[in-house]
């Protein structure tokens, strides 16, 4: 590992180096000067200028003065070179750092410092570049969240406006006495209730989605039988399955499969996947719900033989307000169900995705959850 140089050490070492260099140069020139002045290589008897000057000829005095000027020049050149070297090692990196912080303060997060140095400025440079990358990532995420928030508001306004218009129209007709027929009045009342339920479902789903996406939200994890959770979810929707004359194939282990989860949120996610399979497929569709275990994961698979997902939305299927049909406009969905499933999976350090399957099924949703190291699960 390369040894780290401190700024103080660099300054001291360079000062010593330049000082020794100057002394060597002066020593060489001093011998030459003595030979010129006295005609021999002798040490210069520097015991006071008045005593020396009294025994010198004018030419020798001139040479002494010249020698003094030479020494002064050598020292000046040495100091200048020393200052220039320190400037390159200290002042230049410090200036680049100041420029970098100035750019960041002006909103430029694309700046990266690339100067070379062996002092603490190397660590400061790397820390600065790491900081700007983090700030840039944060800003990109913030902008993405802002765009998603605006898109959510736009879709919510659209999805609330349609049922509100229907409710306003039916309520106005009833209030003005325009509808005298009792059956017609009952029909209007049922339509108002249906649209109110649709709005209520949208608000509930929106609150769930917002809660799961909040940074401070924490799941209430506890050991639970995931197989039993699937049975309960299927049983709660069995009426809808029968009404659409669907055939359900349940492939679950009889023994408990324990997993540390938030049972409430996981039940919501599984319910959303099942509801999606029931409501967005035609009557007579085959459904399959299975649970298997891998070495480190629990795998939940919900497959159906219904509508094939269009390629145009396959990549964004788990984003808010993405639908493969006219379900939102028809009132059979909120457009947030699968987005909530994704949030719940991520909160459990898992994932959800659409996978290829075999006939007679046309698509399969896979919820993949990591096992808890302590509680584990039963091997299937």
Interval 321-330: pLDDT, tens? 765 544 444 4
pLDDT (tens digit per residue) in 9-39: 555 555 566 566 656 666 665 555 565 555 5
The position carrying tokens 């359900």 is 248
Beta strands, E only, the chain: 222-225, 247-251, 258-261, 286-293, 297-304, 351-355, 363-370
Selected residue with higher pLDDT from 210 and 84 = 210
Q: Is residue 62 within 8 Å of residue 85, measured between CB atoms?
A: no
pLDDT at 42 over 70: no
Select, from the ranges 52-61, 75-84, 91-100, 230-239, the one with the highest average predicted confidence (pLDDT).
230-239
DSSP three-state, residue 374: coil
Rg (CA), the chain: 41
Q: Please report how many Cα atoms fall inside a 13 Å half-sphere around the Cα of residue 241, on the Cβ side.
A: 20
* Token pair recorded at residue 94: 């410090």
This prediction has a pTM of 0.59
Strand 286-293 and strand 247-251: pairing? parallel
Q: CA 232 to CA 241: how far, in whole Å?
A: 14
Give the mean pLDDT of 90-95: 70
CB-CB neighbours of 239 under 10 Å? 9
First-last CA distance in the chain: 50
Domains of the chain: 7-118 (no CATH), 135-213 (1.10.287.130), 222-370 (3.30.565.10)
Which residues does 105 contact at the CB level (< 8 Å), separation at least 6? none
Give the mean pLDDT of 226-233: 94
Give the mean pLDDT of 65-77: 65
């Amino acid at each position: 590992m390369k040894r780290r140089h401190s700024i103080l050490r660099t300054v001291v070492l360079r000062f010593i180096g330049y000082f020794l260099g100057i002394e060597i140069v002066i020593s060489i020139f001093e011998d030459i000067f003595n030979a010129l002045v006295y005609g021999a290589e002798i040490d210069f008897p520097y015991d006071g200028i008045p005593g020396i000057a009294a025994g010198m000829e004018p030419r020798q005095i001139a040479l002494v003065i010249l020698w003094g000027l030479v020494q002064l020049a050598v020292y000046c050149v040495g100091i200048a070179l020393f200052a220039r070297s320190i400037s390159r090692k200290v002042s230049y990196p410090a200036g680049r750092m100041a420029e970098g912080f100035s750019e960041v303060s002006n909103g430029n997060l694309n700046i990266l410092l690339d100067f070379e140095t062996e002092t603490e400025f190397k660590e400061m440079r790397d820390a600065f570049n790491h900081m700007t990358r983090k700030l840039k990532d944060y800003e990109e995420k913030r902008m993405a969240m802002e765009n998603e928030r605006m898109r959510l508001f736009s879709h919510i306004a659209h999805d609330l406006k349609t049922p509100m218009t229907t409710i306003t129209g039916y309520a106005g007709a009833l209030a003005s006495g325009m509808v005298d027929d009792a059956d017609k009045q009952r029909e209007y009342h049922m339509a108002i209730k249906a649209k109110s339920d649709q709005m209520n479902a949208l608000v509930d789903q929106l609150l769930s989605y917002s809660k799961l996406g909040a940074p401070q939200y924490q799941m209430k994890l506890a050991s639970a039988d995931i197989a039993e959770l699937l049975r309960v979810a299927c049983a709660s929707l069995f009426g809808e399955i029968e009404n659409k004359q669907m055939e359900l194939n349940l492939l679950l282990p009889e023994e408990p499969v324990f997993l540390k989860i938030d049972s409430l949120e996981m039940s919501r996610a599984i319910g959303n996947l099942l509801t999606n399979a029931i409501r967005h497929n035609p009557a007579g569709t085959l459904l399959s719900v299975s649970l298997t275990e891998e070495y480190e994961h629990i795998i939940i698979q919900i497959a159906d033989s219904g509508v094939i997902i269009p390629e145009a939305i396959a990549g964004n299927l788990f984003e808010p307000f993405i639908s493969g049909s006219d379900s939102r406009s028809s009132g059979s969905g909120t457009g947030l169900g699968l987005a909530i499933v994704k949030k719940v999976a991520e909160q459990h350090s898992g994932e959800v995705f659409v996978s290829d399957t075999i006939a007679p099924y046309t698509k399969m949703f896979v919820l993949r959850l990591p096992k808890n190291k302590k509680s584990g699960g039963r091997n299937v």
